[in-house]
Amino acid sequence: MTTTITIGELPINSTYTAVTGTTTGAGTGAKFDVTKTNGVYTTVIETANLGTGYAVGDTITIPGASLGGTTGVNNDIITVGSIGTNGTIKTFGSVGAGAIGNGTINTVIDVTGTTGVDTYTFNDKSADYTVVNDTTNKVINVTSTLNTTVSFKLEQHERVVFTDKATAFDINGNAGDVYALLKAGFGGTVNTTYEGLGIKLEDAGTTSLGIAQAIVGSTPFKTANPDYATFVNNVYTNVMGVAPTPTQALPFVTQLATGTATEVSLLNAAAHLTAFQQTIGLVGIAPATTGVLAGSGIDFIPA
């Protein structure tokens, strides 16, 4: 794991379309698209706006204020190289340095994780930060709400821990697996203490079946499910959203009564149904590539 601290202006990279400026000659109407990348301009003339009346050697000055900077300091100066019919611009050159940022000095703490599950701990409460999970670039971006110029770029990290709570973003990993099992077993809002215990167990090597066994063997679960019929009714309702009919429930009750299945195996199978995992936000429903929990994460209390 490596940490890099960068202090400076954050680049404001953007494309400014259909911009123009003052010319030294009689030409008019030329418009340009200017892309600014880390202060470097790339200027392209719009094919529908080549202008008229320009002469070789004319200059067109696009003010820096039109390009997210300061006029006079960040101007983009274009020099006409060749012209076409009626003085349209065929070729040109440009010089100028764009504003890199907005003048605000930012501190970015960039922490690169490993191929395993990595956790970053903050010795502050969660309300002091905003957390955004960039699933495309596999980065958790954390910004201080007390000083917005300070931010953390947690690359290849899966979890963040604060003094009052923790959030896991390994939705397709241990955190998501435990969440699905608890959701199928108990329904409703997942208990963050149970989630933390389950994550600790799976991180230590416990399998999904092992977590299902721990749930089924727990006192709250036994109290809520004193017999096979109640178990089937409750788990079916948690997973499908509606209670089973007697006809739907009978095969599962029979499997349990005859020993061809156990409560552990049925709970584990139910928790891993794709439709169920889509419903609870672990898996995305097309065209989405990830479930909604990929953005919000799963809260837990570390065990």
Tens of pLDDT, residue by residue over 186-208, are: 999 999 999 999 999 999 999 99
- Domain range for 280: 174-300
Model confidence at 89: pLDDT above 90: yes
Task: Mark whether 215 and 120 lie in a shared domain.
Answer: no
pLDDT score at 4? 84
Task: Mark whether 186 and 254 lie in a shared domain.
Answer: yes
User: Where does a domain end: 118, 141, 164?
Assistant: 164
Q: What percent of the chain has pLDDT over 90?
A: 88
In a domain, 152, yes or no: yes
Task: Mark whether 88 and 18 lie in a shared domain.
Answer: yes
In a domain, 35, yes or no: yes
Band of the pLDDT at 169, cuts 50, 70, 90?
Answer: very high
Task: Mark whether 89 and 134 lie in a shared domain.
Answer: no
Model confidence at 286: pLDDT above 90: no
In a domain, 1, yes or no: no
In a domain, 34, yes or no: yes
Task: Mark whether 289 and 235 lie in a shared domain.
Answer: yes
**Residue that wins the pLDDT comparison between 104 and 23:** 23
Task: Mark whether 117 and 52 lie in a shared domain.
Answer: no
Task: Mark whether 45 and 142 lie in a shared domain.
Answer: no
> Is the pTM here over 0.85, yes or no?
no
Model confidence at 1: pLDDT above 90: no
Task: Mark whether 186 and 293 lie in a shared domain.
Answer: yes
Q: Is 231 helix (H, G, I), strand (E, B) or coil?
A: helix
User: Where does a domain end: 164, 183, 198?
Assistant: 164
Mean pLDDT of the 115-140 span: 94
Q: How far is CA 296 from the centre of its chain?
A: 9
Strands of the chain (E only): list them: 2-9, 14-19, 22-23, 28-37, 40-52, 59-62, 76-83, 89-95, 105-112, 119-121, 129-134, 139-144, 150-155, 159-161, 166-168, 298-300
In a domain, 209, yes or no: yes
**Residue that wins the pLDDT comparison between 106 and 95:** 95
CA angle 155, 156, 158 (to 5 degrees): 110
User: Where does a domain end: 77, 95, 113?
Assistant: 95
In the chain, how many domains are there? 3
- Upstream peptide bond of 287 is cis (omega within 30 degrees of 0): yes
Model confidence at 46: pLDDT above 90: yes
Model confidence at 7: pLDDT above 90: no
Task: Mark whether 151 and 223 lie in a shared domain.
Answer: no
Task: Mark whether 281 and 182 lie in a shared domain.
Answer: yes
What is the residue type of 106? N
Concatenating the DSSP letter of every residue in 233-300 gives HHHHHHHHSSPPPHHHHHHHHHHHHHTSS-HHHHHHHHHT-HHHHHHTTSSPPTT-SS-THHHH-EEE
Task: Mark whether 259 and 180 lie in a shared domain.
Answer: yes
In a domain, 2, yes or no: no
What is the residue type of 78? I
Task: Mark whether 45 and 120 lie in a shared domain.
Answer: no
**Residue that wins the pLDDT comparison between 103 and 168:** 168
